[in-house]
Structure 1
Amino acid sequence: MSQTNNPPPVIVRPSTEADIPAIAAIYSHHVLHGFGSFEEIPPDQTEMTRRRGDILAKGFPYLVAELDGQTLGYAYASHYRPRIAYRFSVEDSIYVAPDAPRKGIGRALLSSLIARCTGLGYRQMVAVIGDTQNLGSIGLHAALGFRVVGTLPSIGFKHGRWVDSVFMQRPLGPGDSTLPNQQTKPD
């Protein structure tokens, strides 16, 4: 009888304040070494706690992914833009620990975020991806139904070079095939 070595499951769950040190460390790495964020100075844990609280206070999901008991990624959704006409659209943000690529963390987080935002009644999800060379994020989003809808060339300047932003979008639920129920509109 052969035995299969199944990788341990990625567990996605709502974040807690106890996750802030891991969240802050993951984000700090991306701020200092990558282009996924256009910030240049990592926020401290107090600021990350405030930001998480702001997202949760608006009713959006803020998730973490664990593998073998370690928090290796986080994701959240927020308003795409503040104007009322955008009320059915959200923007996703996903960050994975630098030592955890290609372990299914990003896919598990984004899949869960899509499902939760769909359940909340949102109709469109937008990804604003820093750097056209961020093939991991672009590929992940494409694999989960996003398509490139535009690129802003050289919109940012970080780490001594110009950086593009790639805009990707996917429908949630019925998308724009039906009108939203105005009585249950997301706020």
Structure 2
Amino acid sequence: MLEEEYQPRRVLPAHLRPKPEPEAPFAFTLREARQADLPAVREIYNYYVANSTVTFDEDAMTLREWRAKFAFLEKLGMPFIVAESPSGQVLGYALVQPWKSKRAYRFTVEDSIYLGPAAGSKGLGKALLGELIDRSRAAGIKEMLAVIADQGAEASIKLHEKFGFQEIGRMGKVGFKFDRWLGTVLLQKSLKK
């Protein structure tokens, strides 16, 4: 007999193999962002700046810029939340910011949701977006927009659509990053009851 023919006999039958340890459930809590979270938020965001086209930023954001943004959103009463692991690690964040600076747009926001690289595909984005919508509605926001890259962000588009966002337009070749042209998909959800 050939060596290959002996291989199946060397494997224990399934009922005799030790059972693998169950994987610990992915646990997190959602809470309002705090100043102390900003270094972790910056690291999460800057990962996407350097490695993806989901943001059109090409330069990493500084902690000073994040502090200014945090203060601005806090002053406006805009929701900014984080997902925190049981050990206190920030796993992701979500926020809304004014869509435009003109006063007439004051009830319309754009959302942003970013997850740490190891926190994807675990339901965290869904939890953050659901909480962000609820908090935005409670803050008096009437319309929420999502401006999503047309390449590499298909999961984000699907997530928003599951929450009732509808595509309202596309803009082609409005960004240039990593030596290629990129467009955006615009989605909108009304928060009025």
Q: Equivalent residue for 1:35?
A: 53
- CA contact under 8 A between 1:131 and 1:166: conserved in structure 2? yes
Distance 1:41 1:100 in 2: 23
- How far apart are 1:131 and its partner, in Å? 2.8
Distance 2:167 2:113 in 1: 17
Q: Equivalent residue for 1:113?
A: 132
Give 2:76's match in structure 1, choosing from 40, 44, 58: 58
Code of the aligned partner of 2:58: E
Distance 1:82 1:50 in 2: 16
Computing the radius of gyration from Cα coordinates, the structure with the larger value is 2
Give 1:96's match in structure 2, choosing from 100, 109, 115: 115
**TM-score of the two chains, using structure 2 as the length reference:** 0.83
- CA contact under 8 A between 2:26 and 2:122: conserved in structure 1? no
Code of the aligned partner of 2:153: N
Distance 1:148 1:21 in 2: 33
Give 1:25's match in structure 2, choosing from 37, 43, 51: 43
Code of the aligned partner of 1:92: D
Name the CA shift for 1:6/1:32 in 2 (closer, same or farther; >3 Å): closer
- How far apart are 1:132 and its partner, in Å? 3.6
- CA contact under 8 A between 1:35 and 1:131: conserved in structure 2? no
| Identical residues among aligned pairs (%) | 37
SS in structure 2 of the partner of residue 53 of structure 1: helix
SS in structure 1 of the partner of residue 78 of structure 2: coil
**TM-score of the two chains, using structure 1 as the length reference:** 0.85
Code of the aligned partner of 2:180: R
Gaps of 5+ in 1: 175-187
Q: How many pairs were matched up?
A: 171
Name the CA shift for 1:21/1:147 in 2 (closer, same or farther; >3 Å): same
- CA contact under 8 A between 1:130 and 1:164: conserved in structure 2? yes
Distance 2:169 2:24 in 1: 39
- How far apart are 1:124 and its partner, in Å? 0.9
